[in-house]
Amino acid sequence: GIQVEQSPPDLILQEGANSTLRCNFSDSVNNLQWFHQNPWGQLINLFYIPSGTKQNGRLSATTVATERYSLLYISSSQTTDSGVYFCAGGFYNQGGKLIFGQGTELSVKP
């Protein structure tokens, strides 16, 4: 079946460091989204990015659909960036359903 794989599974950073999270998917996507789940369990949509590059403050994301991967960049990390980052792919002929990766758990230390 269709698979979405994220790496690394967990990451520890010092405040101020930069990081790159990766998402690989096994088939062509028409929908790729990145989410942040904060320590209280809330899921926040960071990016809807089926292709190309987008930036939102210290965060940016790039999806290279032809090579079946997406990257999430976090610059100058802050303790409030801690939590779990999920990517989720929507695939052609799947009716808008998203398949989630297992997540990258990020801990930013002061």
Partner 1 sequence: NAGVTQTPKFQVLKTGQSMTLQCAQDMNHNSMYWYRQDPGMGLRLIYYSASEGTTDKGEVPNGYNVSRLNKREFSLRLESAAPSQTSVYFCASSFNGGTGQPQHFGDGTRLSIL
Binding site for partner 1 (CB under 8 A): 4, 30-31, 33, 35, 41-45, 48, 50, 86, 88, 90, 95-103
| Sign of the C-alpha dihedral computed for residues 94, 66, 84 and 8 taken in this order | positive
Q: How far is the CB of 42 from partner 1 (least distance, A)?
A: 6
Q: How far is the CB of 62 from partner 1 (least distance, A)?
A: 17
Q: Which residues contact 33 (CB under 8 A, 6 or more apart)?
A: 45, 46, 47, 48, 49, 87, 88, 90, 98
- Rounded to the nearest 5°, which phi and psi values hold at 7? -145, 150
Please say which residue, 49 or 74, places its beta carbon nearer to partner 1: 49
Please say which residue, 57 or 95, places its beta carbon nearer to partner 1: 95
Q: How far lies 38's CA from each of 24, 26, 42, 85, in Å?
A: 22, 27, 6, 9
Please say which residue, 13 or 99, places its beta carbon nearer to partner 1: 99
Please say which residue, 81 or 86, places its beta carbon nearer to partner 1: 86
Q: How far is the CB of 18 from partner 1 (least distance, A)?
A: 25
